[in-house]
Amino acid sequence: MGTFDITGVVQSLHEVRHQWRHTQRRNSEAGNREFPSRDALGAIIDSLKGVLFPMRLGPPDLRQESEDFHVAHALDGALHALLKQVRRELAYNAHLGQLADSDGVRDLDQQALTATRDFAAALPAIRALLDSDVLAAYQGDPAARSVDEVLLCYPGVLAMIHYRLAHQLYGLGLPLLARIIAELAHGATGIDIHPGAHIGPGFFIDHGTGVVIGETAVIGARVRVYQAVTLGAKRFPTDAEGKLQKGLPRHPVVEDDVVIYAGATILGRITLGKGAVIGGNVWLTHDVPAGGRIAQAESRSGALAKGIGAS
């Protein structure tokens, strides 16, 4: 039976890690895990789903008379677990390894506690937003037989649960936690929503696979999008040194009651006015006024488009 040079590989990996930490000016003496845990956050979000929707996403043997007891117990456990992950991100952001005094450590502890309490206080409002998303999906899809089916089965709703929770953490200054939570949904559904995007109530993603919504996108109320829709950036400005400028508004603004059909690609800081309808497979880089209609050209030349103009 063959053998392996385990010692040599371990030593080589050690050297590669050491080189990386040296070039990135990481504190290799800290001894503890620096980053939040993806697995821990997955368990936290699963628990919070049961907190938000206990009779549908909670334990299979839960009875309604025990609902509040379950919510209290699960919420307490989830928040204590989240507190640890929040502190890890805050410590990472502040380069805790460079803090020499105990005051800095205590300050991070208080910041983490405050952020976690603020997140907990937002959960009722998040539940109300998710109710509006579930209802929009039920009302917008003739194949949906009940709101329970929508909540249990629709990938767009799963993505929105993750997004609504992640967006709250993003707003509390915890972008790494937020991205991990969003990416857990991305991996499960194929729907990629950046937690920095602003999405109003009653948002419905039908089918969903391949939907991409960028960080600075702003979406109003009662908007519906179908699979493979992209709300992306048209270009990426750079600074004088050629580095990407981060945080600039670069994604579309979608006003209330807009419908965007499958395969549409909408790029840049443009505005889709209230009630606009964007047809399937459209490539769009200009504003659309309220009530406007954009569709692919019906002629083979592709020179004409319905409604406002060429897409």
pLDDT of residue 111: 95
- For residue 201, is it within any domain? no
Residue 157's closest CA among 74, 41, 81, 53?
53
- Which residue has better confidence, 105 or 208? 208
How far is residue 17's CA from residue 269's CA, in Å, rounded to a whole number? 40
**Are residues 79 and 120 in contact, defined by beta-carbon separation less than 8 angstroms?**
yes
Q: Report the relative pairing of strands 198-199 and 224-225 from DSSP bridges.
A: unpaired
pLDDT of residue 299: 25
User: pLDDT exceeding 70 applies to what percent of the chain?
Assistant: 89
Residue 242 belongs to a domain with what CATH number?
2.160.10.10
Residue 257 pLDDT greater than 70, yes or no: yes
pLDDT of residue 77: 98
How far is residue 209's CA from residue 229's CA, in Å, rounded to a whole number? 9
If 0-12 CB within 10 Å is exposed, 13-18 middle and 19+ buried, where does residue 243 land?
Answer: exposed
How far is residue 188's CA from residue 190's CA, in Å, rounded to a whole number? 6
Element (H, E) at 168: helix 155-171
pLDDT of residue 57: 96
- Which residue has better confidence, 35 or 226? 226
Clarify whether residues 216 and 171 are in a common domain.
no
pLDDT of residue 7: 95
Clarify whether residues 152 and 42 are in a common domain.
yes
pLDDT of residue 73: 97
DSSP-derived secondary structure letter, 64: G
Residue 92 pLDDT grade (very low, low, confident, very high; cuts 50, 70, 90): confident
Residue 151 pLDDT greater than 50, yes or no: yes
pLDDT of residue 310: 34
DSSP-derived secondary structure letter, 37: -
DSSP-derived secondary structure letter, 66: G
Residue 238 pLDDT grade (very low, low, confident, very high; cuts 50, 70, 90): confident
Interval 152-169 mean pLDDT:
98
- Which residue has better confidence, 170 or 3? 170
Residue 100 pLDDT greater than 60, yes or no: no
- For residue 292, is it within any domain? yes
The count of domains in the chain is: 2
Clarify whether residues 44 and 178 are in a common domain.
yes
Residue 84 pLDDT greater than 60, yes or no: yes
Mean predicted lDDT score pLDDT of the chain = 90
pLDDT of residue 307: 44
Residue 24 pLDDT grade (very low, low, confident, very high; cuts 50, 70, 90): confident
> In the structure encoding, which two tokens stand for residue 240, read together?
């004088």
Clarify whether residues 142 and 226 are in a common domain.
no
Residue 161 belongs to a domain with what CATH number?
1.10.3130.10
What does the H/E/C string look like for 249-286? CCCCEECCCCEECCCCEEECCCEECCCCEECCCCEECC
**Are residues 200 and 256 in contact, defined by beta-carbon separation less than 8 angstroms?**
yes
DSSP states along 75-132 = HHHHHHHHHHHHHHHHHHHTTGGG--SHHHHHHHHHHHHHHHHHHHHHHHHHHHHHHH
- For residue 3, is it within any domain? no
List the beta bridge partners of residue 52: none
The boundaries of the domain holding residue 140 are 29-190
Residue 237's closest CA among 227, 229, 246?
246
The pLDDT tens digits of the residues spanning 182-233 come to: 999 999 999 999 999 999 999 999 999 999 999 999 999 999 999 999 999 9
pLDDT of residue 132: 98
pLDDT of residue 282: 95
- Which residue has better confidence, 21 or 282? 282
Residue 1 pLDDT grade (very low, low, confident, very high; cuts 50, 70, 90): low
How far is residue 136's CA from residue 147's CA, in Å, rounded to a whole number? 9
pLDDT of residue 183: 98
- For residue 195, is it within any domain? no
pLDDT of residue 23: 86
**Are residues 281 and 264 in contact, defined by beta-carbon separation less than 8 angstroms?**
yes
Clarify whether residues 116 and 170 are in a common domain.
yes
- For residue 197, is it within any domain? no
Predicted TM-score of the model (pTM) = 0.87
- For residue 279, is it within any domain? yes
